[in-house]
């Protein structure tokens, strides 16, 4: 009995420590301390569980723990920061796999003992396995697309949405049937099969640029599956940790959707890229763009008092974060001030660009999110746009006919002058022309971002 | 209502309150830390390790096999998740040249 109390106290403390740990994430100063609390909570919960009377043998537990820890350490020490979205997608798959397997084990255990699972428990177990299985394959698909093992372009075919909706309804139908008839093994396995299929099919039509929403949504599903595990086995710490994870994924999904001016349903059923072809800028190619040389751009930056760098995913692809940092140092050496304007979807997952710049030793004080930095643009001497396109397109504010109309953007067009670094005049992922490039205040610096930045740094050093 | 039904109902209260707390706490995390946040919540949700441990320690062979795989998957998330979160958070550095109270550009100096 005393042992049982110890276990419950350990779980209670762990739950509190998890919440305090996430509270620490409220600022960069307290985040690491917060994580130590969460780690302590996890250790307590694991020790508590190992003392439970239901555990009859330890040898396989040790094997699982050893293998998992070794793989976890190996992955997390090696993975580059640019590959963080893939790693997160993979971990959603692992989390959901654990939840699904625990659910399956629970179901098989009851079947083996000839017991019929009670209806409320089956509701939890079914939910766990349904969301778990679709998150496993959905996350593997997202991983494949981000890792570019699979083509990152949307894969669409006729009747795709109708098929997906029909499959989803069939899965929900099986789930409801299972709650009513909890010992229908065929329905349980069919539901797992359909869940796995839906995970694949639902991510197929989603393009690389929409990944921030997908990853956040899968995060939420993985959390809900864990929470359902807690309901099924009657464990509060699981319910709480899963709810925290689910809430986090939910908030991030909303933020990402809002930043892209899309709804969940639009991301999942939209298959972007097919519609907006008609949105060419009036006059199109006839409009002149102004080109600038490296020398002139270097002089312009050297005399600027306030510079805002606008990094886009193109910067991460070019691996040019360090060159940006060196350029900022040169501007600062000349007496200027540099800030970085980070759009919520600047990377392939929420907050990705901040991590990439922090890795390049940019102090976090200089990293500003969209709402924070937008009022600063009118006072900015030079905005330097590196590998960003749609997130700086003023059409989102002005052109009602544009497919990105209403999307929140960085108000780069309000700054005193603009330098856009771009490889060529190809439009961005949405296939939309960008009026910013034709603005009389804008100068285009064509070439590969990394080499252009290095040349700029070299010229500024000579000034 | 049966006893198990009532127990599930209490669990719904726990879930609802935890979801509200999570929504409030996580809503205050700045966009700056959204990637470490996702990796941290991933590590925390590796708590499904708790359920996996019980399955892996059972006397039934099939349950043990499923449980052992689940233990491995969940501990990848726990160990890997916390390590990588810390690796990221260590990279976020404060600029000693700037005051801690992030001033607005053009209004501070």
On whether residue A114 sits in a domain, the answer given is yes
- Partners of B85 on chain A (C-beta within 8 Å) are 35
Task: With cut-offs at 50, 70 and 90, classify the pLDDT of residue A383.
Answer: very high
Q: In this structure, are A324 and A247 located in the same domain?
A: no
Is B11 in contact with A54 (Cβ distance < 8 A)?
Answer: no
Is B49 in contact with A46 (Cβ distance < 8 A)?
Answer: yes
Is B48 in contact with A99 (Cβ distance < 8 A)?
Answer: yes
**Residue A231 C-alpha, separation from nearest chain B C-alpha, in angstroms:** 6
User: Most A CBs within 10 Å: which of B55, B69, B85, B101, as the mutation test of the A interface?
Assistant: B55
Is A68 in contact with B74 (Cβ distance < 8 A)?
Answer: yes
Residue scoring higher pLDDT (A351 or B5): A351
pLDDT, one tens digit per residue, over B64-99 is 999 999 999 999 999 999 999 999 999 999 988 776
Its domain, for residue A334, covers 278-461
pLDDT, one tens digit per residue, over A275-329 is 343 344 444 455 678 899 999 999 999 999 999 999 998 888 888 999 999 999 9
Q: In this structure, are A300 and A253 located in the same domain?
A: no
Segment A367-396 mean pLDDT: 93
On whether residue A47 sits in a domain, the answer given is no
Q: In this structure, are A190 and A288 located in the same domain?
A: no
Last-in-domain residue among A270, A297, A315: A270
pLDDT at site A112: 85
Q: Are B52 and B71 in contact (CB under 8 A)?
A: yes
**Rounded to whole angstroms, how far apart are CA atoms A72 and A51?**
24
Segment A251-278 mean pLDDT: 68
Q: In this structure, are A215 and A342 located in the same domain?
A: no
pLDDT, one tens digit per residue, over A232-250 is 988 999 999 999 999 999 9
On whether residue A319 sits in a domain, the answer given is yes
**Rounded to whole angstroms, how far apart are CA atoms B64 and B4?**
26
pLDDT, one tens digit per residue, over A401-415 is 888 888 999 999 999
**Residue A428 C-alpha, separation from nearest chain B C-alpha, in angstroms:** 24
On whether residue A383 sits in a domain, the answer given is yes
Q: In this structure, are A83 and A151 located in the same domain?
A: yes
The mean pLDDT of chain A is 89
- Chain B residue with minimal CA distance to A86? B39
- Chain A residue with minimal CA distance to B102? A365
Is A31 in contact with B33 (Cβ distance < 8 A)?
Answer: yes
Q: In this structure, are A357 and A296 located in the same domain?
A: yes
Q: In this structure, are A291 and A380 located in the same domain?
A: yes
Last-in-domain residue among A270, A290, A308: A270
- Partners of A67 on chain B (C-beta within 8 Å) are 72, 75
Is B40 in contact with A14 (Cβ distance < 8 A)?
Answer: no
Q: In this structure, are A258 and A200 located in the same domain?
A: yes
Catalytic residue flag (residue A399): no
Q: In this structure, are A193 and A254 located in the same domain?
A: yes
In this complex, the residue of B39, B78, B104 whose CB is nearest that of residue A42 is B78
pLDDT, one tens digit per residue, over A110-153 is 888 888 899 989 999 999 999 999 999 999 999 999 998 988 88
Domain count, chain A: 2
Indicate which CATH number applies to the domain containing A396. 3.40.50.1220
What is the dihedral angle through the alpha carbons of A14, A17, A21, A24, rounded to the nearest 10 degrees? 170
Inter-chain Cβ pairs, chain A and chain B, closer than 8 A: 395
Last-in-domain residue among A242, A270, A298: A270
Is B106 in contact with A379 (Cβ distance < 8 A)?
Answer: yes
- Chain B residue with minimal CA distance to A117? B4
Q: In this structure, are A261 and A288 located in the same domain?
A: no
Segment A63-91 mean pLDDT: 94
Which member of A210, A245, A390, A399 is catalytic?
A390
**Portion of chain A with pLDDT greater than 70, in percent:** 94
Bridge partners of A446, per DSSP, are A422
């Amino acid at each position: 009995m005393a042992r049982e109390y110890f276990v419950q106290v350990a779980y209670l403390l762990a739950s509190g420590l998890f919440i305090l740990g996430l509270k620490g994430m409220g600022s960069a100063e307290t985040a690491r301390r917060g994580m130590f609390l969460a780690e302590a909570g996890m250790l307590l919960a694991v020790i508590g569980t190992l003392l439970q009377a239901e555990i009859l043998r330890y040898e396989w537990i040790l094997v699982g723990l050893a293998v998992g820890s070794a793989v976890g350490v190996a992955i997390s020490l090696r993975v580059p920061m640019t590959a963080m979205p893939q790693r997160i997608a993979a971990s959603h798959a692992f989390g959901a796999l654990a939840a699904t397997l625990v659910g399956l084990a629970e179901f098989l255990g009851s079947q083996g003992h000839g017991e019929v699972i009670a209806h409320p428990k089956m509701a939890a177990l079914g939910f766990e396995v349904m969301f778990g299985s679709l998150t496993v394959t959905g996350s593997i698909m997202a991983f494949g697309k981000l890792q570019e093992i699979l083509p990152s372009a949307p894969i669409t075919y006729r009747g795709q949405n109708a098929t997906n909706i029909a499959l989803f309804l069939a899965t929900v139908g099986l789930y409801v049937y299972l709650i009513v008839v909890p010992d229908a093994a065929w329905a349980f396995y069919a539901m797992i099969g359909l869940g796995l299929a839906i995970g694949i099919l639902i991510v197929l039509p989603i393009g690389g640029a929409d990944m921030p929403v997908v990853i956040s949504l899968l995060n939420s599903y993985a959390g809900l599956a864990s929470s359902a595990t807690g309901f099924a086995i009657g464990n509060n710490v699981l319910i709480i940790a899963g709810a925290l994870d689910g809430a986090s994924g939910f908030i991030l999904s909303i933020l990402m959707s809002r930043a892209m001016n899309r709804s969940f349903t639009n991301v999942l059923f939209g298959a972007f890229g097919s519609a907006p072809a008609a949105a060419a800028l009036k006059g199109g190619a006839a409009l002149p763009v102004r080109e600038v040389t490296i020398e002139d751009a270097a002089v312009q930056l050297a005399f600027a008092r306030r510079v805002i760098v606008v990094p886009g995913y193109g910067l991460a692809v070019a691996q040019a974060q360090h060159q940006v940092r060196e350029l900022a140092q040169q501007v600062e050496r000349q007496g200027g001030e540099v800030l970085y304007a980070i759009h919520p979807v600047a990377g392939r997952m929420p907050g990705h660009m901040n991590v990439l710049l922090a890795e390049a030793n940019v102090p976090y004080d200089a990293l500003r999110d969209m709402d924070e930095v937008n009022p600063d643009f009118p006072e900015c001497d030079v905005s330097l746009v590196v590998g960003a396109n749609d997130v700086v397109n003023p059409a989102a504010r002005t052109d009602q006919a544009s497919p990105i109309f209403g999307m929140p953007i960085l108000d780069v067009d309000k700054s005193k002058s603009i330098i856009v670094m771009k490889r060529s005049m190809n439009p961005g992922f949405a296939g939309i022309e960008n009026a910013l490039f034709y603005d009389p205040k804008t100068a285009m610096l064509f070439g590969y971002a990394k080499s252009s930045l290095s040349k700029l740094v070299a010229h500024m050093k000579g000034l | 209502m049966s006893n198990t039904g009532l127990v599930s109902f209490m669990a719904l209260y726990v879930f609802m309150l935890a979801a509200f707390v999570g929504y409030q706490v996580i809503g205050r995390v700045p966009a700056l830390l959204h990637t470490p946040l996702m990796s941290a919540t991933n590590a925390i949700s590796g708590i499904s390790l708790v359920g996996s441990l019980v399955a892996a320690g059972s006397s039934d062979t099939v349950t043990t096999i499923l449980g052992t795989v689940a233990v491995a998957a969940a501990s990848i998330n726990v160990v890997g998740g916390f390590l990588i979160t810390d690796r990221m958070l260590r990279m976020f550095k404060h600029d000693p040249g700037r005051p801690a109270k992030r001033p607005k550009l053009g209004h501070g100096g």
